[in-house]
Amino acid sequence: MIRIFDNFLDDEDYNELGNTSMTFSEVQWVGRNAKPENAFHSFIHKIFHTAFPDDSSSISGATAWWNIRPINPKPHSDIVSYCTAGGVDYTPKNPPKNTFIYYLRTPDKGGRLNIYTKPPITDVKIGKEQFFSWADHETDSIAPVTNRLISFPMDVTHAVQPYEGNRVSIGAIFWETLPTIYGKTNPNINTSYERPWENADNKEGTRKLTEEAILGITPS
């Protein structure tokens, strides 16, 4: 299920988040029981309490990251992208159900998030890469509105459409147990890790698994 929360932060929290200084090239780990150290951590805790209001969840914490603009964005599934290294699947036993995307800045043009809940209607292989297209009526297209939080199933295929201007967003995923490619799961600390999905050695294997997932091919 796709959920949209508009005007997610009040003006003070929004401005503090926009002025937070962090290392963009790393993925942040925000432990559930760790005291927030900055506006970014407090923002992740707010998402947690919004998504899990009864506070009885077994969530240990969240990975969260500033989205770096891709040169050539491709359709992908986060369960593959964020649980894979070297073509090997490290998805934990109880994987997250949802991905959260928050829009801090809106682009001047384009940049909608397309979510595909059905298989593609066409796929064409050019060289090593597969290119897909989906029917419009089977595509949920969501505008990147400033101060909007989106939640959608982690395993669905989605893609950011081309855009112009300054699109700034934050992704977050809440875990019971982290994939071991990040590090040990510790709900009592805030820390950061390298982005395994940005490692050049991982990209080829992840690309192949992504294409198989989109086509509904079960890895042998």
pTM exceeds 0.95 for this model: no
Residue 132 confidence (pLDDT): 84
Apex CA 19: angle with CA 71 and CA 41, to 5°? 90
Is a pLDDT exceeding 70 seen at residue 123? yes
Beta bridge partners of 26: 194
* Residue 83 to residue 92: CA distance in whole angstroms: 8
Question: Which tens digits make up the pLDDT trace of 201-210?
Answer: 556 666 666 6
Residue 11 confidence (pLDDT): 97
Q: Which of 18-22, 24-28, 99-103, 104-108 ranks highest by mean pLDDT?
A: 99-103
Residue 53 confidence (pLDDT): 87
Question: Which tens digits make up the pLDDT trace of 172-182?
Answer: 999 999 999 88
Ordered structural domains, the chain, with CATH: 3-215 (2.60.120.620)
* Residue 190 to residue 139: CA distance in whole angstroms: 37
Q: Give me the torsion for CA of 37, 60, 154, 78, rounded to 10°.
A: 70
Write out the two tokens for 105. 């800045």
Tokens 């042998």: give the residue.
220
